[in-house]
Structure formats: C-alpha cells, structure tokens
Amino acid sequence: MTALRDELAAIDPSRACDRAAEEDGLGPEPSGREVSIARLAHRLRRLGEGRAPVPFAWASAAEHCRAAWLRGRFLARGSLSLAGGRTHLEFVVAPDDAPELAARLVDIGLPVSRRLRRGRGVVTSKNGEAVGTFLRRIGASGTLLEIEARQVSRALRGELNRVLNAESANLQRAVSASGRQLDAIATLDADGRLPSQPDVVRLVAAARRETPEATLAELAERLEIHRSAVQRALERLERLALA
C-alpha cells in the first residue's frame, strides 16, 4: 500500500531520540523503491550528522522511541495486504534478525509467527485488530481510518447480500406455495368439491385467486381473519386436491 508508506514516511519526529530510533529501524539499505522512503532516509541521515552512532536499546527505550523504530522497520522491511478482506502484515528480514523482531512485536501486543522462506526470515501477523493497533502506534492513523471504512463497507455489503438472498429465498418459497394453492383450487373447482367447502375455505380460495402474489398476512388482513385461519384453509385445499 503506497499510500500507507507515504503517510509514514512523511512523519517528521520532533525528538532527536525518535529520529535516531527510526533511522536504526530503517537500517542501512531500506528495501523498496519509494521516493518518499529514500527522502526520509536522507533526511534522517542529514539531521543525525555529527551524532555518534548508538545501537538502539529496545529494552530501555521509551514508548515513542519504540514506535519510531517500528515505523522505520516497517518502512524498510514491512508490507500490508488486505486482499479478500483478510489482514496480512509481513516483515521480510535477515534470518538472524527475525527472532528479535518477532520478540519486539510480541512485546507490544502483536501476535506474530515466523518462518524461513527462500533463505529470508519472514515475520507475519494476521490478527486484524492487533494489526490495526500496530498501525495506530506507528502513526498510520489516516490509512487506518481508510482501512476501517473499507471493512465497514464490506461488512455492510455482506449483510445486504445476506438479506437479499434471504428475501429472494422467501419470495421463491411464496411463489411456489401460491402456485400449488392455485392448482389445488382449480382442481377442487373442476371436480365440484370447492362449493361444498366451509365459508372460510371458499373465501380464502377466492382471495387467493384474485391476489396470487399476496402473503398469508395480506390475505388475513383483507379477509379480516387470523393468519392461522388462512394458513389452515390453504393447507386444507392442497390436502383435498391430493386426495
């Protein structure tokens, strides 16, 4: 996600310790070809000129320095994929660096797994909520809002599709039932048994013929009787037609 990397690379730490931590996280040769990251690396080197290099001490570092280091490491070696609605955060580092990176990520509450792939150490996390917290921690608030908006939109589309599918299935069942009922009414009318049925059954049969598309509730409202009475009358008609 280029927008995410550009957003992170545009962050300008005000503390010298944060700049040093981010530069350490970036390492000597950040991967990728983004101009924004190259500019960031140049800016951090320029601002740090004359400063004696000090290895980053994670254990004693302040929270803001840890966030800066993680931001640099993500820009240098990380990637984020949201394909198919699934979150996949990945770091590809030297094999010897993978255990330390994994431990630091777990230390901030991000569950990860690690493995070797084609001679490189790969550290991944697929926990959407934890990855969201990680992105917020390293300063990707804008991108996180966009991701959350996409997730909400996807969830709404999924719910809408579920409702539409359910309504379509209900409609199919209603059309099928109405067809059976009309066939039963026609059969009983043809063999002369319909006129001998109770008043309620004949009223329901007439209403069904006039409004084949009506639901049971609509037929009940039209005839001013209970829905259960309509259902029993229609079931009686179908049962008699099969006898």
For the chain, 243 residues long, the average pLDDT of each consecutive 10-residue run is 84 89 83 73 73 81 95 92 84 94 95 94 92 92 79 79 86 89 93 93 94 92 94 94 88
Q: Are residues 29 and 135 in the same domain?
A: yes
For residue 47, CA distances in Å to 13, 14, 57, 63, 184 come to 11, 11, 20, 21, 88
**What's the confidence (pLDDT) of residue 51?**
67
Q: Is residue 118 part of a domain?
A: no
Residue 92 belongs to some domain of the structure: no
φ and ψ of 29, to 5 deg: -135, 85
Q: Which pLDDT value is given to residue 243?
A: 82
Query: Is residue 173 in a domain?
Result: yes
The reply to whether 149 falls in a domain is no
Output the six-digit token pair for 174.
Answer: 């209603």
Residue 235, phi then psi, degrees to nearest 5: -65, -40
Helix (H, G, I), strand (E, B) or coil at 83: helix
pLDDT of residue 180: 93
Q: Which of 105, 89, 85, 90 is nearest to 147 (CA)?
A: 85
Look at residue 176 and tell me if it is in a domain: yes
Residues 49 and 133 in one domain: yes
- Would you tell me how many other CB atoms lie within 10 Å of the CB of residue 136? 14
- Total number of domains in the chain: 2
- Give dist(CA 164, CA 146) in Å, integer: 27
> What is the predicted pLDDT for the residue at 104?
96
Cα-only R_g, the chain: 34
From 63, 70, 137, select the one nearest 101 (Cα to Cα).
Answer: 70
Which pLDDT score is estimated for 46?
Answer: 79
Task: State the pLDDT at residue 145.
Answer: 82
